[in-house]
Amino acid sequence: MKTLKTVTICLLSTLCTFFVIAQDKDKNEKLDEMIKKGIHDWKIPGLAAIVVKDGEVVFQRTYGVKNIETKELVDGNTLFNMASTTKAIIAIAMGMLVDDGKLKWGDKVIDHLPYFKLSDAYITADARIKDLLTHNLGIGNADALWSIDSTTTQQTIKKFEYAKKEYPLRGGFIYQNIMYAVAGEVIEAVSGQPWTVFVKNRILDPLEMTRTQTKSRDIIQAGNYAIPYYNDMDDGIVRVDHTFSDQIGAAGMIWSTPIDIAHYLTFLVNDGIYKSDTLVRSETFKKLFEPHSFQDGNGQYPTTALTKPNWNTYGLGWFQQDYRGHKLDFHTGSIAGLIAITGIMHDKELAVYVFANLDHAELRHAILFKTIDLYAFDDNGRDWHGEVLNLYSGFKNSEKAFLEKQQKERIKETVPSLPLEGYVGTYLHKMLGKVMVAVSGDTLQINFNNYKKYRATHWHYDTFKTNKDPRWRSSFMVTFVLDSHGKSSELNAMGEIFRKIE
């Protein structure tokens, strides 16, 4: 027969358990309510949100459709692009090689990848493995390398040699996708396996992430994947092309599902342990989340205007800042028509992840901070959705104002200096490749590397404006420069100069 004390303890335990469950249910409903309102206001087709607290999944819900045309619903197995949240997984893979004794964070990159070369000889010689993951090597951004071409990873890295130095080694911050592609090549050089295979064998399989794909094109065969959409200023919600840029796959091409991501978050909250298996040593896991570079204002998220952090740093695959007196590690992922965000507050044992299939659906930030407020601080007082919506509406208005200004500054009733045929030819940029210009009717056909093709109509003088990119839903200006003989000698596009070679 139980003693009165035992019965009392049991009753208190039951009441406490009931109270915790009731509290979690209340938080879940508050979060769910905000998400539903946000989806409506942002016009998001489909979304998934996952929250892990104290090692347990406390919130995992899907909303809306993965495909507007077929009206197929998002479910727990729907594949979404992780985009740049992939970077944290690459950093983990590097850490595993450190644990294996095959790599040191301070190793020189050229010792593992002899063909690695940058525009600055000193940076080339002294670049370390850790530097590949911290966005502070000193070299300018060159994402056009993969967005207007489809070369191999090695060719992309070799062309990156021509990207200009912008600041001293480890003396600034410029976000670098290409360096994560380099990290992927280092993983292969050291492990003997392509990074896609290494990550599957050492991370995805142990975490039971059975639907996750390390090559973006493999989603077609896997099935049940999200269609990307864009809220176009002129056309409303429109479908855009998938981005299959596996040549920089280590920077952002892993696809995963809500169910798989729940396993990943559990692993992160448990400091590198999953179901009693230690996948990453404690000291290595901590290294991933140490601050390794400072942000000097370059690359900071607009939401810092709302969170007002005292400091902003970058770990190994993680942005970092203080929020409510606690360290927050987080990262967004953005690829045409698909977005993600993840965040971890380690001392609160809390992690969150959001997927959606609408470009610039910044509701993700509201979900991140609402989750932290609710589950870490038991606070529902702030209207995160309203604040984030208002913040980003300002940017949308700025974009509209820019286009209106552009239209106002257009010099009307001008004609090109040459007949359209006078601009025809091949123009070369040593890093970005070739642009072939041809005439079709009353427009110019602008062809980048036989990969990205645009139609350009006359804007004013020798400047032409392209049609909207079918993936990014934006257009850009192409300006031709004439030589002393009145012939076209250069083409200026996307801030880069391509010189005519034939």
Pairing state of beta strands 477-482 and 255-256? unpaired
Q: What's the rounded Cα separation, in Å, for the pair 331 and 368?
A: 10
pLDDT number for residue 17:
44
pLDDT number for residue 12:
52
Give the range among 11-25, 364-378, 383-397 with minimum mean pLDDT: 11-25
Give the architecture (CATH level 2) of 420-500: Beta Barrel (2.40)
CA distances from 441 to 297, 459, 463 (A): 47, 16, 17
Rounded (5°) CA angle 172-177-178 = 100
Domain extents for the chain? 4-399, 420-500
- The DSSP bridge partners found for residue 429 are 433
pLDDT number for residue 395:
81
User: What percentage of the chain reaches a pLDDT higher than 90?
Assistant: 86
Q: What is the mean pLDDT of residues 216-245?
A: 94
* Nearest C-alpha neighbor of 476 from the set 466, 485, 484: 466
pLDDT number for residue 235:
86
pLDDT number for residue 22:
58
User: What's the chain's average pLDDT?
Assistant: 93
Give the range among 107-121, 241-255, 391-405, 412-426 with minimum mean pLDDT: 391-405
What would the two tokens of residue 119 be? Answer: 């525009």
Pure H helices in 175-257? 178-191, 195-199, 219-222, 249-252
Task: Label each residue of 39-85 as H, E or C.
Answer: HHHHCCCEEEEEEEECCEEEEEEEEEEEECCCCEECCCCCEEECHHH
pLDDT tens per residue across span 176-213: 999 999 999 999 999 999 999 999 999 999 999 999 99
pLDDT tens per residue across span 442-471: 999 999 999 889 999 999 999 999 998 877
Q: Which CATH number fits domain 4-399: 3.40.50.1820, 3.30.110.30, 3.90.1150.10, 3.40.710.10?
A: 3.40.710.10
Q: What is the mean pLDDT of residues 305-318?
A: 96
Give the pLDDT band of residue 283 (cuts 50, 70, 90): very high
93 in Cβ contact with 198 (< 8 Å): yes
pLDDT tens per residue across span 481-496: 999 999 999 999 988 9
- Residue 373 CB-half CA count within 13 A: 17
CA distances from 70 to 45, 124, 231, 447, 470 (A): 12, 50, 19, 33, 21
